[in-house]
């Protein structure tokens, strides 16, 4: 008790780093990359300043840049030329993501972990994450398509597949599809607790995955719920998930903390597009110090329990960290 005990003693500038509990490391970062089959030159995403959609030809250079910054992993999202009601471009072995995986692998070998986001919304003409019949998103018919897509990603050389569509049983379906084709060593990073969030809207510009009717409320979670997130994570682990994700991150730190405490498994957090855009917009107006806010935000996500963070700030943070050492 005061006056013997003074908490401020350890807050002296030179002592602070010694007693810091959480650290942000470049090894925690996963950088999202959008590859677009419909363009020839990279295009900046309007609602996400400094983020781009890349044509296939630019990916080698981008992968090298990420590698040069010592970021261990990327996650790929594809924008296909052709969208239809069965998402056929998603499981085309010559699809945009499959080609992207092959080209990056060829360029960087095993030096970058290539994660393939596994969802159908970018490939569906209606923009939903599953097969639609009578204006409803059908769970079970979607599972087969997810399994097929996963296999084509594994064949192309993906290190990890990351299902993000919130269909029931998706992890099990993908696991057994992979195992059937002898890809039992490919891990699944499941978007286990993914909320129906308005923080995704810049991503939907980026990935052209806006839906033409309804919303994602029949499959993504209600943001009033947290026990449900634990059930989702538990089920995905039972179905064979190797890494579980909480998404978005900032407004869901309590979920992240509970998931990590309860299961103690490798846990990822997605610092989503809207979180990026908000920080960028305020920084562009000169209202906040971007570098400091980003550090505080990402370290907060780490402190809450994330082992890894998917973030559009990955390259900025990595170059900061490189400059420090």
Catalytic residue positions, numbered: 194, 247
Decide the pairing of beta strands 136-138 and 131-133: antiparallel
Closest contact distance (angstroms) between CB of 175 and ligand PBG is 19
Angle between helices 170-180 and 227-239 (to 10 degrees): 10
Closest contact distance (angstroms) between CB of 221 and ligand PBG is 11
Nearer to ligand PBG, 189 or 259 (CB): 189
CB 116 within 8 A of CB 159: no
Report the site for ligand PBG in 210-239 (rule: CB under 6 A).
Answer: 216
CB 242 within 8 A of CB 218: no
Report the site for ligand PBG in 252-311 (rule: CB under 6 A).
Answer: 272-273
DSSP symbols for 258-313: HHHHHH-S-EEEEE-HHHHHHHHHHHHTTSS-HHHHHHHHHHHHHHHT-SEEEETT
Site size for ligand PBG, by CB under 6 A?
A: 13
Closest contact distance (angstroms) between CB of 150 and ligand PBG is 15
Nearer to ligand PBG, 64 or 88 (CB): 88
Where helices occur in the chain by DSSP H, the ranges are 16-19, 59-68, 96-108, 140-156, 170-180, 201-206, 227-239, 253-263, 273-284, 290-304, 314-324
CB 114 within 8 A of CB 105: yes
Q: Which residue's Cβ lies closest to ligand PBG?
A: 203
Nearer to ligand PBG, 215 or 261 (CB): 215
Backbone angles phi and psi of 157, in degrees to 5: 115, 15
Among 130, 163, 165, 305, binds ligand PBG (CB under 6 A): 165
Nearer to ligand PBG, 64 or 201 (CB): 201
Nearer to ligand PBG, 281 or 322 (CB): 281
Across-strand partners of 194? 247
CB 163 within 8 A of CB 200: no
CA–CA gap between residue 294 and residue 299 (Å, rounded): 8
Closest contact distance (angstroms) between CB of 11 and ligand PBG is 35
Closest contact distance (angstroms) between CB of 183 and ligand PBG is 22
Q: Which stretch binds ligand PBG (CB under 6 A): 62-70, 181-189, 200-208, 225-233?
A: 200-208
CB 140 within 8 A of CB 177: no
Closest contact distance (angstroms) between CB of 65 and ligand PBG is 20
Among 100, 129, 233, 250, binds ligand PBG (CB under 6 A): 129
200 binding ligand PBG? (CB under 6 A):
yes
Closest contact distance (angstroms) between CB of 117 and ligand PBG is 6
Among 164, 172, 190, 277, binds ligand PBG (CB under 6 A): 164
* C-beta atoms surrounding 213 within 10 Å: 9
Nearer to ligand PBG, 99 or 216 (CB): 216
Backbone angles phi and psi of 91, in degrees to 5: -110, 20
3-class DSSP state for residue 117?
strand
Among 101, 121, 244, 253, binds ligand PBG (CB under 6 A): 121
Among 31, 195, 203, 252, binds ligand PBG (CB under 6 A): 203
Among 119, 158, 161, 246, binds ligand PBG (CB under 6 A): 119
Report the site for ligand PBG in 37-96 (rule: CB under 6 A).
Answer: none
CB 122 within 8 A of CB 207: yes
Task: Determine the number of helices (DSSP H) and then strands (DSSP E) in the chain.
Answer: 11, 12
Binding residues vs ligand PBG (CB under 6 A): 117, 119, 121, 129, 164-165, 200, 203-204, 209, 216, 272-273
């Amino acid at each position: 008790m005061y006056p013997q005990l003074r908490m401020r003693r350890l807050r002296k500038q030179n002592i602070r780093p010694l007693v810091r509990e959480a650290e942000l490391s470049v090894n925690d970062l996963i950088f999202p990359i959008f590859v677009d089959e419909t363009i020839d030159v990279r295009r900046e995403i309007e609602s996400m300043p400094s983020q781009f959609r890349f044509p296939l030809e630019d990916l080698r250079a981008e992968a090298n840049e990420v590698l040069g910054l010592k970021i261990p992993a990327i996650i790929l999202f594809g924008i296909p030329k052709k969208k239809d009601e069965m998402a056929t471009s998603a499981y085309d072995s010559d699809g945009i993501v499959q080609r992207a995986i092959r080209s990056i692998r060829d360029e960087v070998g095993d030096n970058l972990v290539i994660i393939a986001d596994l969802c159908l919304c970018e490939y569906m003409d209606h923009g939903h994450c599953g097969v639609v019949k009578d204006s409803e998103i059908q769970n079970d018919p979607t599972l087969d398509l997810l399994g097929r897509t996963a296999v084509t990603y594994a064949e192309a050389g993906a290190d990890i597949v990351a299902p993000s569509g919130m269909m029931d049983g998706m992890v099990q379906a993908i696991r057994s599809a992979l195992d059937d084709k002898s890809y039992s060593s490919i891990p699944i990073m499941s978007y286990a607790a993914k909320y129906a969030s308005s923080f995704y809207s810049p991503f939907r510009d980026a990935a052209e995955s806006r839906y033409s009717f309804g919303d994602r409320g029949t499959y993504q979670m209600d943001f009033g719920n947290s026990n449900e997130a634990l059930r989702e994570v538990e089920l995905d682990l039972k179905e064979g998930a190797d890494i579980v994700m909480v998404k978005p991150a900032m407004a869901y730190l309590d979920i992240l903390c509970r998931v990590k405490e309860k299961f103690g498994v490798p846990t990822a957090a997605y610092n989503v597009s809207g979180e990026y855009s908000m920080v960028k917009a305020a920084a562009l107006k000169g209202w906040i110090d971007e570098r400091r806010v980003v550090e505080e935000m990402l370290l907060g996500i780490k402190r809450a329990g994330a082992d890894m963070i998917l973030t559009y700030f990955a390259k900025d943070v990595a170059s900061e960290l490189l400059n420090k050492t």
